[in-house]
Amino acid sequence: MKTNISIWQEVKSHIIITLAVLVSAIGWTAFLIPNKMLGGGVTGLSTIVYWILDIPTGITIFVFNAILILIAFKSLGRRFALSTIYSVIITSVAFYFLQEYFGDVPLIEDKFLAVVLGAGLNGVACGLIFLEGSSTGGTDIIVMMINKYRNVTLGRLTLFINVVIISCSYFVFKDLELLIYSYVGLMITSYTMDLTMNGSKQSVQLFIFSSNPSEIADRVGEEVHRGVTMIKGTGWYSKKESDIVMVVVRKTESQRVIRIVKQTDPAAFVSVNAVMGVYGKGFDVMKNK
């Protein structure tokens, strides 16, 4: 049976995915689609279909992904296919209703500002979805299916597919300026997605000098759920031996540790250092190069 913690983690993950999908849908329907600009993936393909056949993007996103997911059941396994179904359904519903709400009138007329906002929101949202171990479907499924049988890097293959999809917009709109803006949007999406994912993985190392090291260590373990190491040290000025609390946490968790220290010992001295990489339980997994 699932514990209350694991159930809460699943609920929290679904909430984050839902909010991220809404942010992505707003970026597309409020800024990109009304300005006839494309991004990559199935959403970009659905945008082309919308401007040609006037079919809402929410419908085509669902149809395209449904076909790909059915294929993925056989090619990539049931587990991968099921993991994307939730985000695909939420994405389709969000795009359908938000496109009805915003319509075809651009919220911002300035195309450069529109592509920065739209692609930026989409990139942040995609990064959050990937961090939750989910997928937006579409291009991700295509890339993984091809990569299973061909020795092609995922990044290169994703870029190639997105460039092809965006290039098709020129044959629809016959506008070189819109095509260039769409390429700019692709780069902004990639950059903000990487920034979102890398920023959440950044870790820091804290050295805590306190007269109550044991209490701080206990609270960090119980409340932040991180391992703590005690280091023997000697104050050169006071010539007194003391225990130094050393803990490595995600940057987003560091304020919780500092708050614990402040509550336990307001006179404590804390050193916070950024670290290049942390590998092991609770952090990144070591991989063979």
pLDDT of 257 higher than 60? yes
What backbone phi and psi angles, to 5 degrees, belong to 144?
-70, -35
Q: H helices of 168-268, where?
A: 169-173, 176-201, 213-219, 254-264
How many Cβ atoms from other residues are within 10 Å of residue 96's Cβ? 18
pLDDT of residue 153: 56
Quote the strand ranges of the chain, DSSP E: 203-209, 228-234, 241-250, 269-275
Instruction: Tell me if 77 sits within 8 A of 88, measured CB to CB.
Output: no
pLDDT of 91 higher than 60? yes
pLDDT of residue 190: 83
Instruction: Tell me if 213 sits within 8 A of 195, measured CB to CB.
Output: no
Tracing tokens 């449904």 back to the chain, one arrives at 66
**Closest by Cα among 71, 250, 221 to 149:** 71
Confidence tier at 92 by pLDDT (50, 70, 90): very high
Provide CATH 3.30.70.120 ranges for the chain.
202-275
The structure tokens listed for 232 are 């023997």
How many Cβ atoms from other residues are within 10 Å of residue 276's Cβ? 6
Task: Note the pLDDT tens digit of each residue in 166-193.
Answer: 998 888 888 999 999 999 998 898 888 8
How many Cβ atoms from other residues are within 10 Å of residue 179's Cβ? 19
This prediction's pTM: 0.71
pLDDT of residue 289: 46
Arithmetic mean of pLDDT, 59-82: 77
Tracing tokens 């919780």 back to the chain, one arrives at 256
What SS3 state is found at 206?
strand
pLDDT of residue 206: 94
Confidence tier at 279 by pLDDT (50, 70, 90): confident
Task: Note the pLDDT tens digit of each residue in 180-228.
Answer: 999 999 889 888 887 887 666 678 899 999 989 999 999 999 988 898 9
**Closest by Cα among 79, 176, 75, 188 to 135:** 79
Task: Note the pLDDT tens digit of each residue in 131-180.
Answer: 776 677 777 677 666 766 666 555 567 778 888 889 988 888 889 999 99
pLDDT of residue 284: 65
Q: Which fold has domain 202-275?
A: Alpha-Beta Plaits (3.30.70)
